[in-house]
Amino acid sequence: MTAVATHTWFMIGRQIRNLLRQPIWIAMLLIQPMVWLILYGQLFSRVPQLRAGAGSYVEFLAPGVVVMNAFFSATWSGMSMIEDLDRSVIDRFLATPVSRVSIVLSQIVRTGLTAVIQAAVILLVGLGLGVRVHAGALGWLTVFVAAALLAAAFGGVSHGLALILRREESMIGVANFVGLPLMFLSSILIAQRTMPHWMEVASRFNPVNWGVIAARNAVVVGGDWGSTGAHLGYLLAVTAATAAFATWALRRYQRTI
Amino acid sequence: MDAIVAEGLRKRYGEVQALDGVGFSVRQGEIFGLLGPNGAGKSTTIRVLATLTVPDEGRALVAGHDVVHEPNAVRRAFGYVPQDSGVDRNATGRENLLLQGRIQGMRGRPLRSRADRLLELVGIADAADRIVLHYSGGMKRRLDIALGLVHEPRVLYLDEPTTGLDPEVRASMWEEVRRLAEQEHLTILLTTHYLEEADALAQRVAIVSRGTVVVEGRPEELKRRLEGDAVQLELADRDLAAARAVLERAGAREEALLEGRTLVARVDNGGHALPGLLAALDAAGVAVASVAVSRPSLDDVYLHYTGRDFETEDRAGT
């Protein structure tokens, strides 16, 4: 167990350092959420029924954008695994006694951490645009946990698929196929009750939407802890399942080489 | 005790029988070469010994530990320099080394001084804190080797160590490998499809062809066993029967027929025998398009034991 933890820590160190060396990546990390927030905020601000009782559409939107970012970055996070596979970095690791679990676990944790940083940026920009986090400090924490869990959950899927598909083109295909439908089958942009009935039903089974509900409870509603806790619990279960999937995919990769 | 023992290794990928009973042993402290054309099964053999690939059948011991049943003990005993560099190109040389050392269980000052020493040893100390992306091919290869050595393994695997390098760089790498073997008291297992590399570096070689070891021994010994020089006769017409009759009368031993028209035969003292041989062929009415005589090389050893031409197989395997 300690080997898993220390090796995961070393691996996360490597990934974060490599990301911080890419100025474009940092710029996109910070700018992209603001673009969503401002763009969508302006686009839909004149349609009052969308925001479901929030003080402003931006306030309604901010937790949604947090979740959308976490979800999208996580969907693409497996690309770094494909690069490591292509460059034989994974094989070099596998030829050492390094903990196998740490190779995927570090990627999943890294995806979660990135989502938290983005969530903080979005909420801070949101404050400037008049957003209030109604549940206070605990609300901020809830948003961070929701973002981290959702990103970790889809990070597990993305890395598992990367280990199975091993091709960037295939990953792009799958990410696009899954990404946009899951986004529109959620209340990221519009209130759940304004959706067509079948979409509303479908959205109840969408992990992306669970993240939105938890984050929006914290920001807009300022409470409803029962629902928030339940949805975070579902996300935790999904994260555990997808992490297991990614670990299985690594073992499968080892068997096929 | 032998540093590496492989017995009857078999591995199948779908339709391809990559290993078909590979077996050989490497003694403590020697440089051993697995020589063979592309696709012969050398890299798969190394990957089995590196615990990356699990064989379907057979058994392998590295430093006395079984690769399938005690993989972590094996992983601490060997260093692996893969064919395609496994370095992290977005990190510096030193960062690569420190991470590699940490996942091998090293920490703190011993690790830092080991990294310094290795960077010095492989000659990239000046570039230690530069991002690997900006390294030349030779520098990257040197870093690969340093990564394989960080945990002071007893055995080092070099999979095609000089493929893709310039000829001058290749020669200096050979020098380096010999020096490392001595300074670090290493047993080295290298794979190569360059005959001259095996000849220059390896104290013993195993020639691998189509997933099996066809012969194992010291390069000089293998060449000596061939007895005589190789004479290659390219016939203008495919008048094989007449040519064979002449060769037999001259005491030449036929070894192979390449592309249906080139006869390869062994003759004692080929340079001397050639004029008489050509005159006899002429007298028998056999038209010769070209002729070549060569001292035995590992190329000939390959031809002798497999009946196939090394270069042709090498091209077919890529």
In this prediction, the answer to ipTM > 0.95 reads no
pLDDT on residue A1: 62
Tell me whether residues A97 and B104 touch, CB distance under 8 A: yes
Reply yes or no on whether the pLDDT at B303 is more than 90: no
Tell me whether residues B51 and A95 touch, CB distance under 8 A: yes
What is the nearest CA distance from B305 to chain A, expressed in angstroms?
30
Tell me whether residues A254 and B52 touch, CB distance under 8 A: yes
Reply yes or no on whether the pLDDT at A48 is more than 80: no
Q: Dump pLDDT digits (tens) for B246-278.
A: 888 888 888 888 888 888 888 888 888 889 889
Q: Does B43 touch chain A (CB under 8 A)?
A: no
What does the pLDDT average to over A167-178?
Answer: 91
Tell me whether residues A95 and B84 touch, CB distance under 8 A: no
Q: In chain A, which residues have their Cβ closer than 8 Å to the Cβ of B76? A: 97
Q: Does B99 touch chain A (CB under 8 A)?
A: yes
Binning pLDDT at 50, 70 and 90, where does residue A34 land? confident
What is the nearest CA distance from B260 to chain A, expressed in angstroms?
38
Q: Does B98 touch chain A (CB under 8 A)?
A: no
**Cβ-nearest to B103 among A10, A18, A88:** A10
**Cβ-nearest to A14 among B82, B91, B131:** B91
List residues of chain A with CB under 8 Å from any CB of chain B: 7, 10, 13-14, 17-18, 21-22, 87-89, 91-98, 254-255, 257
Q: Dump pLDDT digits (tens) for B203-223.
A: 999 999 999 999 999 988 888
> Alpha-carbon distance B179 to B202, whole Å?
13
Mean pLDDT (chain A) is: 92
Which of A8, A15, A85, A96 to mutate against chain B (most B CBs within 10 Å)?
A96
What is the nearest CA distance from A36 to chain B, expressed in angstroms?
30
**Cβ-nearest to B50 among A7, A10, A95:** A95
Return the number of other C-beta atoms located less than 10 Å from residue B73's C-beta.
16
Tell me whether residues A18 and B52 touch, CB distance under 8 A: no
Tell me whether residues B88 and A14 touch, CB distance under 8 A: yes
pLDDT on residue A158: 96
pLDDT on residue B318: 62
Q: Does B224 touch chain A (CB under 8 A)?
A: no
Reply yes or no on whether the pLDDT at B227 is more than 90: no
Q: What share of chain A is helix, strand, coil (3-state, %, to 5)?
A: 80, 0, 20
Q: Dump pLDDT digits (tens) for B104-148.
A: 999 999 999 999 999 998 899 999 999 999 999 889 999 999 999
Which residues, in sequence order, are CB contacts of A203 under 8 Å at separation 6+? A185, A186, A187, A192, A195, A209
pLDDT on residue B39: 87
pLDDT on residue A35: 87
pLDDT on residue B108: 93
